[in-house]
Amino acid sequence: MMMNWNRRQFIGALGTTSLIAGFPGLVLGAAKARVVIVGGGFGGAIAARYLKLHEPGIEVTLIERNKHYISCPFSNEVLSGERNIESLTFGYAAHAARGVNVVHDAVTAIDAAKKTVMTQGGKSFAYDYLVVSPGIDFDYGTIEGASPEMEKTMLHAWKAGEQTLQLKKQLEAMKNGGLVIITSPKRPYRCPPGPYERAAQMAAYFKHHKPKSKVLILDHGDTMPKQALFEESWKQLYPGMIEWVPGSSGGKILRVDQKKRSLVTDMGDQKADIINFIPPQRAAAIARMAGLTDQSGWCPIDPMTMESTLHKGIYVIGDAAVTNDIPKSAHAAASQAKVVVNAIVAVTNGKPVPKPQYTNACYTVVGPDYGFSIVGIFQPEGGKLVSVKGAGGLSPVGAPSYVRKAEAEYAYSWLKNITTEAFL
């Protein structure tokens, strides 16, 4: 396993523990290792939590711009009015209470050679291991006529927060019989089933308040995740209210006309009362600045350890990383965080690095008492992260109401437990 953990780094880590080598678990003032985490979303927050859980002797610094994190998972329910955004808002007090050095600052540079992170506030942090979990940025450059300015008129609401609330206001202000367009971008993007769940949650709101209204999904691709389950649920819950146009049938956005507020596809100009333009995506700016991205715009990693293949000693987890079959989800980021933590803790304590465990559980709630899920188990294979055959899979199509209700309830419990794991 040491081949994946470069020897210098391993010896370095041992060096810091040599004083206490005979007394595992005993901390004599000096930290066993210093870990800096950039980004306090699900990936970064859970990495911090598990480092302190499994090895309190490791010094952990979590650098996050914002004082609060708003969960993207279940933010579509803010649109239907099923929940408020406060129920998805979390702080970092629990991390501080557990001894994590929480720093609210923006990272401006990462010096991989000197193993130092610099912030806007003029601070620098030295590390033995760096975990980068920066999330996504929008990439407007790949569509003609698109630019960041359109965020104001064609909301994305793909980073939960102010945009989510604005989109909800637009839905509330729209007339009965209005049309909403949701664009589903080129893959990979954050939360693959998200656009389709969003369509359902919007339809849930319309059903009770503006039943003549419709949602049109213009899709870059020709398939959607959980497709049979979505199509079945739309038909059952929202007949005639949601239309999905695959890319090859004219769903692909060729051009954006911001002045006319229209999207140009093979079907011509598409206009609507509300356009929810979910832009194409790439790794967040700090990953690009630090040289952690390749030409794809995402961060290539060693699937055994999540270590960057471009900079040794830096581990990239969550949505920003190239993870092949693993979708960009909170649960996947959590499992990647644990892979990195378990490796760091093992090396720090001179134990063998465990086999990496990559899992994903992704729940969708399309309406009251109606949920379904997909499970993925992944393993490194031929330099990639590949779905394990014979494990994982989808909820059944045609399932009875007990199953849909139970899955909706488990979905909410998933949210409660993973947000507790990350932030509480």
- Applying CB under 8 A, the residues found at the interface with another protein are 1-4, 49-50, 53-54, 304, 331, 334-335, 338-339, 342, 346, 351-357, 359, 361, 373, 375, 377, 388, 390-393, 395, 400-403, 406-407, 409-410, 412-414, 416-418, 420-421, 424
Write the CB contacts of 128 (distance below 8 Å, at least 6 apart in sequence).
Answer: 9, 12, 13, 16, 33, 34, 35, 115, 313
Q: Is the Cβ of residue 164 or residue 349 nearer to another protein in the bound state?
A: 349
| Shortest Cβ 304–another protein spacing (Å) | 7
In angstroms, the first-to-last Cα distance of the chain is 33
> How far is residue 12's CA from residue 415's CA, in Å, rounded to a whole number?
38
> How far is residue 169's CA from residue 265's CA, in Å, rounded to a whole number?
27
Q: Give the H/E segment covering residue 339.
A: helix 330-348
| Shortest Cβ 413–another protein spacing (Å) | 4
Q: Report the candidate in 160, 278, 170 with the shortest Cα–Cα distance to residue 218.
A: 278
Q: Give the H/E segment covering residue 410.
A: helix 401-423
Q: Is the Cβ of residue 122 or residue 402 nearer to another protein in the bound state?
A: 402
| Shortest Cβ 409–another protein spacing (Å) | 4
> E strands of 128-260, at which residues?
129-132, 136-138, 179-184, 214-219, 242-245, 255-257
Radius of gyration from C-alpha coordinates of the chain? 22
| Shortest Cβ 358–another protein spacing (Å) | 8
Write the CB contacts of 14 (distance below 8 Å, at least 6 apart in sequence).
Answer: 21, 350
| Shortest Cβ 337–another protein spacing (Å) | 9
Write the CB contacts of 410 (distance below 8 Å, at least 6 apart in sequence).
Answer: 363, 371, 373
Task: Report the sign of the C-alpha dihedral through residues 225, 226, 228, 234, in that order.
Answer: negative
> How far is residue 330's CA from residue 234's CA, in Å, rounded to a whole number?
25
Q: How many CA atoms lie within 13 A of 303 on its CB side?
A: 16
Q: Is the Cβ of residue 74 or residue 138 nearer to another protein in the bound state?
A: 74
| Shortest Cβ 389–another protein spacing (Å) | 10
Q: Is the Cβ of residue 45 or residue 245 nearer to another protein in the bound state?
A: 45
> How far is residue 354's CA from residue 24's CA, in Å, rounded to a whole number?
18
| Shortest Cβ 107–another protein spacing (Å) | 26
| Shortest Cβ 50–another protein spacing (Å) | 7
Q: Is the Cβ of residue 25 or residue 141 nearer to another protein in the bound state?
A: 25
> How far is residue 195's CA from residue 19's CA, in Å, rounded to a whole number?
53
Q: Is the Cβ of residue 263 or residue 330 nearer to another protein in the bound state?
A: 330
The three-state secondary structure class of 406 is helix
Q: How many residues does the chain have?
A: 424
> E strands of 146-250, at which residues?
179-184, 214-219, 242-245
| Shortest Cβ 71–another protein spacing (Å) | 13
| Shortest Cβ 33–another protein spacing (Å) | 16
Q: Is the Cβ of residue 110 or residue 418 nearer to another protein in the bound state?
A: 418
Q: Is the Cβ of residue 117 or residue 408 nearer to another protein in the bound state?
A: 408
